[in-house]
Homo-oligomer: A and B are copies of this chain.
Amino acid sequence: MQTGGMDVGYHHGDLRAALIRTSFEVLADCGLRRFSVAAVARRSGVSSAAPYRHFPGRDHLLSAVSAVAARELREAIEATGSLAEAAGAYVRYVARTGAGFHVIFAAELYAVPDDERREQTRALMTTLIDLAGDVSYERALQRVEATIAVAHGYTSLFADGFYDHHATTVDEIAARATDAVRSLF
């Protein structure tokens, strides 16, 4: 898939990457529920057939999005120093990109054999486990799960419009998620 430094000169330069980028927008706007290859194509300004040159099908495109989201999220989390701050980083990342754990670990991706995605999701979990502190692996896993639950929970409420009445900002929600995780441990 690499362009190898040559200017290939076709319409987009890198439609594959553009499609992945646009997929985030579609996810943010429509949710995983109404995510469609056709919508991504429209929004990218290409025909509905074009994406199939780069991805065999809808799930493979989603898998590529999952891999990118897992990497970017891990990088955001590595810039913090604790699980509590990681929860805040998660809230901000999902609010910004539209792709959270429900996309990264979407059930429909289990059957998609995408080594890149599997590597990136594994690395993300490893990073979280490392942040859990010097405890047993079992205990670390439970802490990570609790953190994910809190972060994902707040994010879902925010995304579902739960806070609309109070004009709550992303940063406020991120702070609440951070505080909640902090008081867990």
Inside 8 A of A161's CB, which chain B residues have their CB?
105, 107, 110
Docked-complex contact B176 and A146, CB < 8 angstroms: yes
Docked-complex contact B156 and A156, CB < 8 angstroms: yes
Neighbour of A105 across the interface among B105, B151, B162, B180, CB < 8 A:
B162
Neighbour of A149 across the interface among B32, B33, B142, B150, CB < 8 A:
B150
Tally of chain A residues near chain B (CB < 8 A): 29
Q: Is A3 an interface residue (CB 8 A)?
A: no
Q: Is the interface of A mostly helix, strand, loop or mixed?
A: helix
The answer for the CA separation of A177 and B153 in the assembled complex, in Å, is 12
Chain B residue at smallest Cβ distance from A35? B33
Docked-complex contact A162 and B145, CB < 8 angstroms: yes
Q: Mask for A141-164, Cβ within 8 A of B = 1, else 0?
A: 010011011111110110011110
Tell me which residues from 31 to 67 in chain A have a Cβ below 8 Å from any Cβ of chain B. Answer: 32-33
The answer for the CA separation of A176 and B106 in the assembled complex, in Å, is 22
Q: Is A1 an interface residue (CB 8 A)?
A: no
Tell me which residues from 156 to 174 in chain A have a Cβ below 8 Å from any Cβ of chain B. Answer: 156-157, 160-163
The answer for the CA separation of A145 and B161 in the assembled complex, in Å, is 12
Inside 8 A of A184's CB, which chain B residues have their CB?
180, 183-184
Neighbour of A150 across the interface among B101, B107, B180, CB < 8 A:
B180
Docked-complex contact B162 and A157, CB < 8 angstroms: no
Neighbour of A183 across the interface among B153, B156, B160, B183, CB < 8 A:
B183
A-B contact pairs, 8 of them (CB 8 A): A102-B156, A107-B161, A142-B176, A145-B154, A148-B153, A150-B153, A152-B153, A183-B183
